[in-house]
A and B are shown apart, each in its own frame.
Chain A
Amino acid sequence: MTGRSVAIAIVASLAAYAAPLAAADLTVGAGGAYRTITSAVAAARDGDRIIINAGTWREATIVITAPNVTVEGRGWPVLDGQGARGVLIVAADDVTVRGLVVTNTGVSTLDDRAGIRVRDARRCLIEHNRVRDNLFGIYLQRSADCVVRDNDISAHGLSQTTSGNGIHLWYSPGARVENNHISGQRDGIYFEFSTGGVTTGNVSEHSQRYGLHFMFSDSCHYERNVFRENTSGVAVMYSHGVVISHNRFEHSWGAAAYGLLLKEILGGEIRGNTFTGNSTGLFIEGSSHLAIADNDFLQNGWAAKVLASAEDDHFTGNRFAGNAFDVSTNSRTANSTFDGNWWDAYRGYDLNRDGVGDVPFHPVRLFALIVEEHPASLVLLRSPMVGILDAAERVFPVLTPDALVDHHPLMRPPR
């Protein structure tokens, strides 16, 4: 190396170190200084911006190790995993990834390949990407306070066993998952050991398994999401202090499908959601101290199945209309309360015109109870005999749980 070139190299590196704020743009592709993303990423320093121009890039797994780097696609460059590997790994704090098409990781049973993986990195921002046909879409592991928003994630033609999750969070507290669209993955959105997250405005549909699936993730908020036509609906388990509000749970239809399945949830709110056309709208097992308020249960098979193991859950201000069964339970005692809901099956009257029916309403039909004890008797669904039986029980309640009663049924729908 000549003395002159050494001098240039020294000046260049001095400039790089002396002015970290004067972030450089590293352009990959047409008109840029870099021919591969890998070389640009290797050259990137703290605060740099890597701009990837349109084209298809087939490279070994790209690992971003410099902090505070922005990776930005122009004209939707395609990063192709060629069915053989994960595509992009973020392993530094404060990294932004946007405007990329990330595709084709292929299926592996040995490693959880992901389109975009964030590993042990804080405050990442993954936005406006198109994530197509990957095993896992966006995978956050041990990465706190990240934001994943406005991504479009889809997978096709996969089965439950050969598919991963759309947005997967593992030990990643404080995440914000916003306005993403996910379809065809195993679980649309998956939280495990990830506390304090906020999930809003997402659409998760046609999942092989659950639209949303979370476990051991306390104090999370789920608001204004749409979960639609997922094979098994939405399942949330083993968490405290969960708030699920103003979401739509729609058309999860099948023998083992639930609009929203709650298992071992302690304390929380289920408020203002709409459950439409699910075989079971809301299924509650072993969950206690829940406020279930102002929800709409429309055209479900069972609007709410509340097992005896669910204690001190309070249903109030909900609207039940067009369901085959409003409430079903497996016990003749009631450990949850219903008060001030609107039931389309209510036939009472309101003499003092205060908007509250004067006759209590028993939401558990006799037939629902019979079915719970003898499932085979479901063949009599919609039989005229069953109608007579229910009418008789309504007049002289003998068998249905006495305690499971709405003492203040509303005369008019609350909404």
Chain B
Amino acid sequence: MNIVMLVFQAGLRDLTRNRWIAAYMLGFLLIAEGLFWFGGTGPQVALSLLNVVLLVVPLVALIFGTIHVYASREFVELLLAQPVPRRQLFIGQFLGLALPLSGAFAVGAGIPFAWHAGAGTGGGALLALFTAGVALSVCFAAVATWIALSTDDRLKGVGLALGVWLATTVVYDGLVLGASAAFSEYSLERPLLALMAGNPVDLARVLVLTQLDVSALMGYTGALFERTFGTGIGTTVAVATLLAWCAAPLALAARRFQRRDF
């Protein structure tokens, strides 16, 4: 466990020395506080922040994560020359990436809400928003790690990361929209439910929306979502699926790290 802590601390020091992560945190702080500043109520700020979270968190986690893993390559190789278990090294390295990322989001976006004492946002909605942000940070940090460990070409790696970002935030929803138009004669509520679970970004969005009362806008589908995700069991299932979306790429990255010939 010593080694986990050691590598984690090294990564943490590396990141805190890096101005990116501070700027990232400050960015969220300014956006959230700015939304309050311009007369937003708590639920409105949460809703606007949701859009930022859905776009920015995956992007930063992917790009920043890939660059970070590439940059720490020599450090990892140096440590691997020592008698160090690879698993611990990997865990330390990943924690050193994922914790600052999710922490920066949680602190940056959290301070304004704490300052305004939630400003009328329901506890469930706040919890959902921060769970979604943290889960997306972890999930896409894992994807970034996996990508960086899979290709040696850095340019290709960053390109892939960008591709994953586009695919999950935009292209996937485009396909869902196309499908819902093409098969509009059929009852689509349940298939759409499955499709939403098939993309962590959509899952995070729906999880937050069902906690805010805008879900009433979503008509019959929204009602089904509310019944599915809004209940205790449904929320648990949604969060579990979101965790699975963190665990799957992490497992892939860990395997890649174990077998890789550095």
Contacts and interface: CB of A to CB of B under 8 A. Distances in A.
Contact of A385 (B50, B169, B209, B225): B169
Contacts of B222: 255, 378-379, 381
A374 B188 CA distance: 10
Interface hub of A375, A378, A379, A384 (most chain B Cβ within 10 A): A379
A375 B216 contact: no
A378 B222 CA distance: 8
Secondary structure of the B side of the interface? helix
Interface in A356-385: 370, 373-385
A91 to B, nearest CB: 46
Nearest to A280: B217
Given A253-B213, A324-B217, A384-B51, A376 B189 contact: yes
B219 A382 contact: no
A387 interface: yes
Nearest to A324: B217
A383 B171 CA distance: 11
B223 A255 contact: yes
B173 A376 contact: no
A378 B205 contact: no
A315 to B, nearest CB: 21
Interface residues of A, number: 27
B51 A375 contact: no
Interface in A79-98: none
Given A255-B216, A384-B169, A386-B173, A378 B55 contact: no
B127 interface: no
Contact of A388 (B170, B176, B209): B170
Interface in A365-415: 370, 373-389
Nearest to A387: B51
A91 B218 CA distance: 50
A377 B181 contact: yes
A376 B170 contact: no
A254 interface: yes
Nearest to B54: A384
A279 interface: yes
Contacts of B184: 373-374, 376
A29 interface: no
Contacts of B218: 378-379, 381
B180 A377 contact: yes
A379 B181 contact: no
A268 B216 CA distance: 30
Nearest to A302: B217
A201 interface: no
Interface in B206-225: 206, 209, 213-214, 216-223, 225
Pairs of residues from A and B, 6 with the lowest C-beta to C-beta distance, nearest first: A385-B173, A376-B188, A301-B217, A377-B180, A374-B184, A378-B218
Interface of A: 253-255, 279, 299, 301-302, 322, 324, 370, 373-389
Given A375-B221, A384-B54, A388-B170, 5 more contacts: A255-B220, A301-B216, A322-B44, A374-B184, A381-B217
